[in-house]
Amino acid sequence: MALTEPILKDAQERMQKAEAALQRELGNIRAGRANASLLNRISADYYGVQTPLNQMAAITVPEPRVLMVTPFDKSALKEIEKAILASDLGISPANDGSAIRLVIPQLTEERRKELAKDVKAEGERAKVAVRNVRRDAMEALKKGNKDGQFTDDQLHQLEEQTQKLTDEAGKGVDAIVADKEKEVLEG
């Protein structure tokens, strides 16, 4: 029965990773509110090396709809501005010589509904990932049973535990999606 714990533990870890990946993806969805994670995917040229903005600058939220990017090295300001302009953010940076201000525009109702659909789609992808982990765990448990590592009763208990893990992960995904949907729709 020694094999069962690693199977369940692995399944639980993989399900948690699916939830974390969902949160990262949803962090990239702009909700009409300033959020430093909007800039996570943006890198700028810094002495010939593509460097993530959050490693080159302090990113703060001085107002609910404003992001302030203050580079640690003022000579990188132009490169940061170029990187933001080249990104898919769709926000024009305002450079004041020492920092860059990004004003997040108010979202239209139609755009909010579109984003809410995107949030649901990401949630569905996360649930598919969780179900795939469940399927893999169930297959590993059945193989262990077939190989005589545990009895049919033990297999049944372990399958129930796997299902509980899956249900918990599904609830976690639903909660993450509900929070982000609320944020998007209320702005």
- The whole model's pTM is what? 0.68
pLDDT band at 87 (very low <50, low <70, confident <90, very high): confident
- For the chain, domains (ranges, CATH) are 4-28+108-186 (1.10.132.20), 36-103 (3.30.1360.40)
Residue carrying the six token digits 């890198």: 43
- CA-to-CA separations, 50 to 67, 75, 76, 127, in angstroms, rounded: 21, 15, 12, 34
Q: Examine the pLDDT at 39 and tell me if it is beyond 50.
A: yes
